[in-house]
Chains A and B, each alone.
Chain A
Amino acid sequence: MSKADRQLMIELENVDKFFGSFQALKGVNLTVGKGEKVVVCGPSGSGKSTLIRCINRLEQHNNGKIVVNGHELTGAVKDIDAVRREVGMVFQSFNLFPHLTVIDNLMLAPKLVRKTPKAENRKKAMRLLERVKIPEQADKWPSQLSGGQQQRVAIARALCMNPEIILFDEPTSALDPEMISEVLDVMIDLAREGMTMICVSHEMGFARSVADNVVFMDEGEIVESGPPGTFFDNPKNDRTKLFLKQILSH
């Protein structure tokens, strides 16, 4: 895609976020075009979660401008729920609804928000469970599933609302090592299908193969960003170099 037809899905302009007097984001600038994949990395506490949580307004930023798929989040957003419908989110700790079966986890939001007929929701949910390769778990409780299976259900749940964008917050960090690849495979599939994605992740193999842009954050700032080739092989900033050395040494 040439730069000229790049349709912006997410724009952050000088975004600041404070928790009390602590500044978690410092003048963050970032743009994500349609179909682009951004991988965000950085040490713990650097503001990665805060950054993506501001994009669907689980946190409200204090200064600057955020535009998501044409909706500006600055100031009074009339209907934040409408924006959230277009932005899926996958959490580190899965956050499946424990009192609902797998299929009901997928069908809840379409029922409450889109108010589409039940049969249609079920069909769609089953299709998505097939896509994440666990249709046979449809009627189980989340607690009966492995971590990797739960995270795949969480991805399918986000897809049920047909989001234009999906935000991933360290989706594989809570998983046992042998389950990481089954979740990454689903994410790679999604990426190939052209989904717009922001992934907070330290899976450098994933970043290399999927990302259009890798962003390194430290202490609330974007320190360095660039295409994976340049970012990994030729990092410019000393903090980036140190971080990459630490990440790759284990």
Chain B
Amino acid sequence: MSAFLEITEVGKRFNGTTVLDDVNLTVDKGETVVLLGPSGAGKSTLLRCVNMLERIDGGRIVLDGEELGWRESNGVMRELSGRAEARQRQEIGMVFQSFNLFAHMTVLQNVVEAPVGVLRRPKREVIEEAHELLKQVGLDHKADAYPAQLSGGQQQRVAIARSLAMHPKLMLFDEPTSALDPELVSEVLDAIKHLAVTGITMLVVTHEIGFAREVSDRFVFMENGRVVETGLSRRLTVEGAENARTRDFLSKVL
């Protein structure tokens, strides 16, 4: 049996330092998995490898039966061309810690840019859908504002809408609320919560354990580039966790 997203024995080194060490992780279709772990554990690197923003040094990542970043031909693995890589990324949404909205475009233009420019969908249809997506994150009234005129929480909600406009198979979130003032965290978490129930597949890096317990199905705990423990998210309590390292981490963040 194979999962929707299969990360198998993935390794990654930066200048000789091992950052990901033989990482195995699966996410089923429609599942929400949270990735936990102390700073420097390699969580961001793992997400970036899935999205091919970093090239893996070993192992493989398969999404919905398709190997990411490489293709097999005549018994050898060949790295994909930039264009083929870009095509695979169309199906993977990514939300960054620092939002990364296009600063020179309005909110609406941010959402519309890729579906029109990359997928070549009709502009009118995409604009209509963009307004719909912005409504879902409660920001349609800001459609003509520029990112600099929005709060961090609003920017992050636009970034979520922008990703969804591509109808991705998989959504990756890298600490989507870590750059936000405390009072803005819940509006972004709420937006992600709404997504979880739509049945989209999500892999979320977060330090919000309460949110993780409520929204996700499973957790994966990483440390020093290795997966230390995986389990059901309702076990995300100091007593519930099995591994001593996980328990130690949870006792610090809870």
The reply to whether chain A is a binding partner of chain B is: no
What is B's interface to A at a CB cutoff of 8 Å? Answer: none
What is A's interface to B at a CB cutoff of 8 Å? Answer: none
